[in-house]
Amino acid sequence: MLLSILCTFLFSNQAILLSIILVLIAYAKHKIYPIKKELLLFILISVGGAVVEILLVNSGSAWNYSSSQLFGIPFWIPFFWGVMSTTIVVLYDGLINRTSSKK
């Protein structure tokens, strides 16, 4: 998760490169800690997160991006949402397993 945030900070002006990096991070996370229906979750949250971002950005009252390539948002935003969603599920699973093993 921190790696995704750091890469986003460093490469946010290079949309294609950042998108590739985020997909590689998602793939590496999947190989290290796979979860059930990960691809489905990744796609649903990527699309859902991007749609919400598009709606908020285009409403004019939320925020805007200096480099928007896809309906007012950067091209890498859906990939970022996907990586964050699967990472949060992994963190949740880890916390649940850790607390249940202490009992």
Q: DSSP string of 2-68?
A: HHHHHHHHHHTT-HHHHHHHHHHHHHHHHHHS--TTHHHHHHHHHHHHHHHHHHHHHHSSS---SS-
Q: Residue 33: pLDDT band by 50, 70, 90 thresholds? A: confident
Residue ranges per structural domain of the chain: 2-101
Q: Residue 52: pLDDT band by 50, 70, 90 thresholds? A: very high
Structural tokens at position 29: 């996370």
Residue 76 near residue 8, CB atoms below 8 Å: yes
